Structure 1
């Protein structure tokens, strides 16, 4: 369980929660969420540029602003799980992740860079003309060096007996 407090305009970059379900409730404020699903079967291209590995095709699943008064969301292991957040106003979000992160079981967070569909040629990609804006190529990244998340401190139960 986590509570993320966002100053205005702060961002959590594009990332995933592999094999996990995430229940989220915005506690106050407004937050822009953009989420993707992997295209199945996988459409992968080996990039030929220096410093690039492979990119994988993903389709836009959600692109909206959440409002604390009405929105609760659920990210499933294979739906909307690749996502990023940007604070429209100061806000806080409660997340419940299940099962929890456990690297040895393949559940560690991966960050991604998104490239427009037009950035790579893909003759076998299952995309019709006019749908290109709904697709992006995702490349894995190291954890961003400018990403800062401060650990909270558990102060014990609010009521002691």
Structure 2
């Protein structure tokens, strides 16, 4: 018995439509955070140090994060994490761990007003940051490898490297998801909470000391800090550059973990 012309195509199209409808029904039943998890699994399936997802995957994950709201992960500004305790010390930042594997991690930083995540890097990583609520000041840099004299030494600072300013602005939720890449987009950044705020981070891959993805902190010095030959051509743009010096983890940085109490992620 043969197949009449067009029947095979019609059958394939029908099956495809059924599959699409099934996927849409599944996604409607799935919580936003579960949908985020499944998307991360697909986007970072081939991930590793230096991996950058294809542009269509970047946009897909960005779109999901753009639509994510604080109540989707069980957060509100009234929770104790966001209260400023005036005791003369730096505000305590709370980290909520949602998920981590060798390909990616999902977590939320909860910052009370004036809380600061100091300038730090993301070696070989692609990072998506979604401000869930509040106002946050973000300052970020990339290494200025495309200009002459990108390193300097002095008696006080053994080694500093020239970096180019990428972002210096206040972000107010709701706003678009920020994305940084291994060598672009502001791989080194600092977060300062103008008001109480929460930021959800997706890191692909996550930090890993054995794999060489160690979190390094930096001290920022102004462009004019070092009299180095060859940088005169940058004088007119000096506000767009800074010298970054590696430092130990700041003593004043206090980050504590707390249980994530939002919708659960089912890893299946």
TM-score higher than 0.5 here?
yes
Between the aligned partners of 2:240 and 2:137, the Cα distance in structure 1 is 17
Alpha-carbon distance change, 94 to 39 in structure 1, aligned in 2, over 3 angstroms? same
Alignment of 1:12-31 (within 5 A): 12-31=117-136
Is residue 91 from structure 1 mapped to residue 91 from structure 2 by the alignment?
no
User: What's the C-alpha RMSD, in Å, of the aligned pairs?
Assistant: 2.1
Q: Which has the higher strand share?
A: 1
The structure with the greater share of residues assigned to helix is 2
* Greater alpha carbon shift after TM alignment, 60-69 vs 30-39: 60-69
Aligned to 1:78: 183
2:250 is aligned, of 133, 140, 144, to 144
Q: 1:126 to 1:73 in 2, by over 3 A?
A: farther
Q: 1:78/1:152 Cα in 2 relative to 1: closer, same or farther (>3 Å)?
A: same
1:35 correspondence with 2:140: yes
| TM-score, normalisation: structure 2 | 0.55
Q: CA deviation at 1:43?
A: 1.0
Which residue of the partner structure matches residue 208 of structure 2? 102
Q: How does 1:111-122 map to 2 (within 5 A)?
A: 111-122=217-228
By relative contact order (CA 8 Å, sep 6+), the higher-ranking structure is 1
What TM-score do the two structures reach when normalised by structure 1? 0.90
Unaligned runs of 5+ in 2: 1-105
> Closer, same or farther in 2 for the Cα pair 1:127/1:91, shift >3 Å?
farther
Listed one character per residue, the Cα deviations across residues 130-158 of structure 1 (whole Å, up to 9, x for unaligned) are 21111110000000111111112256974
Name which one, 1 or 2, has greater alpha-carbon Rg.
Answer: 2
Matched, 1:47 2:160: no
- Segments of structure 1 that go 5 or more residues without pairing to the other structure are none
